[in-house]
Amino acid sequence: MGMTITEKILAQHAGVQHVEPGQLIMAGVDLALGNDVTAPIAIDEFKRHGGKEVFDKSRVVLVPDHFAPNKDIKSAVQCKILRDFAKEKGIENYFELGNMGIEHALLPETGLVAPGDLIIGADSHTCTYGAVGAFSTGVGSTDLAAAMISGKAWFKVPPSIKFVYHSSKKGKLKSWVYGKDVILFTIGEIGVDGALYKAMEFTGDVIDAMNMSERFTMCNMVIEAGGKNGIVVPDTTTVNYVNQRVKRAYTVFTSDADARYEHVYEYDLSNLKPQVAFPHLPENTKNIDEVGRIDIDQAFVGSCTNGWIEDLRIAASIVKGRKVNSNLRMIVIPATPQIYRQALKEGLIETFVDAGAVFSIPTCGPCLGGHMGVLAPGERAVATTNRNFKGRMGDLKSEVYLANPAVVAASAVLGRIGSPEELGIKG
């Protein structure tokens, strides 16, 4: 019996020829990642268990991105813990402020993740890097501490589910439909526990036609279906992206023709429309034309899910020459400094500001209800983020609706959740 791409990567890092779903293995990690929320706990555990030096100064990555720039004294202390530890241990990949971006966009952009890698991070959306054909997953702070010391981690090999997406137009989707809509549709189909501790492998001509930012978006959100990891078998698009950034050798793994999958889902997405996830779960999805009238107080474009340059271009194309509705606020946050610079170069920042939006520095910010866009009781936001749990972006009595950047931008102009087509914009 053959193996899936996920199983092959885990077997290789465990130093064995073959693994089976459910098998417990000890595997070496290529990267161990922490942020300003989780790493302080891991650093405390590191010291408590007698850690002296990290296993590899180039393979521990620390990114204070959730509450940076420091929003208050507590967050300043959290970031200082990372800064001091990085300096003390000589950690090479420490990113802050001018070099800081949202971790899950920053690592691919800087060439720190590559096909065939095994990556753990004390953040649930570490699964993002599956888009380059790596096995990446979130772990607890204790596991991160152990990995920082030993360079290894325990894993239970997950069963794999294959998702095959087709379109009658050679993978092309309808206007204003993107990877965000595909993953929201998928979560709506299988539920928030539909892939619990499973590897979600994405394939089909729709995936083939996607750019890397859309693939990152899809893999980012597998955790919202309970997935252990999301992954796309590398193709020319992947290799072109990686070769411009990664400066080391890497291994491309593929799934065997006779690999075993727990389930195979096939979807014809020829007529898929933009999706909107209603509060308070990502599985509560509806087509844009089923939404009805929902007035909003805030429109947010950003996060590790949709803060890529492609997302900013889409949103800017909607608001260009228009004004943000006076009844709401629009916030745009690029995921990394490089994306910020590119947005500046292309005039996107000016477009957003002219429309009446606020354009900010790279940070997680409002996605987790951290800062720079927290919701008050009774407020509603439509956002390109990945979660809409109760209280996710602010008060427990606020509401978050998830959508792609085109829908969020159109909603900012309309004052209610709506599509670009309502503004007379053709894709």
Average pLDDT per block of 10 residues along the chain, 427 residues long? 96 97 98 96 94 96 92 93 96 91 96 98 96 97 96 97 95 96 98 96 98 98 97 97 96 96 97 97 96 97 97 98 96 97 98 97 88 93 94 92 98 97 86
Judge whether 30 and 55 are in contact, CB under 8 Å: no
Q: Name the phi and psi angles at 228, rounded to 5.
A: -75, -40
pLDDT value of position 98: 84
Sheet of strand 199-203, all strands in order from the earlier edge strand to the far edge: 229-232, 199-203, 160-166, 263-268
- CB-based contacts of 383, cutoff 8 Å, min separation 6: 298, 299, 300, 301, 303, 366, 367, 393, 400, 401, 402, 403, 408
**Model confidence over 58-112: pLDDT tens digits?**
999 999 989 988 899 999 999 999 999 999 999 999 998 788 899 999 999 999 9
What is the spatial distance between Cα 335 and Cα 337, in angstroms, rounded to a whole number? Answer: 7
What distance, in Å, lies between the first and last C-alpha atoms of the chain?
45
pLDDT value of position 109: 96
Residue 7 tokens, joined: 């199983």
What is the spatial distance between Cα 233 and Cα 161, in angstroms, rounded to a whole number? Answer: 13
> pTM of the predicted model, to two decimals?
0.95
400 three-state secondary structure: strand
β-pair partners for 267: 165
Domains of the chain: 5-267 (3.30.499.10), 277-423 (3.30.499.10)
What is the spatial distance between Cα 271 and Cα 197, in angstroms, rounded to a whole number? Answer: 30
pLDDT value of position 55: 97
What is the spatial distance between Cα 282 and Cα 222, in angstroms, rounded to a whole number? Answer: 11
Single-letter residue type at 398: S
Residue 47 tokens, joined: 């010291």
Single-letter residue type at 256: D
The two counts, helices (H) then strands (E), for the chain are 14, 18
β-pair partners for 119: 31, 136
What is the spatial distance between Cα 101 and Cα 99, in angstroms, rounded to a whole number? Answer: 7
Judge whether 126 and 138 are in contact, CB under 8 Å: yes
Report angle CA 415, 417, 421 to the nearest 5 degrees: 95
For 76-93, letters b (16+ CB in 10 Å) and e give bebbebbeebbeebebeb
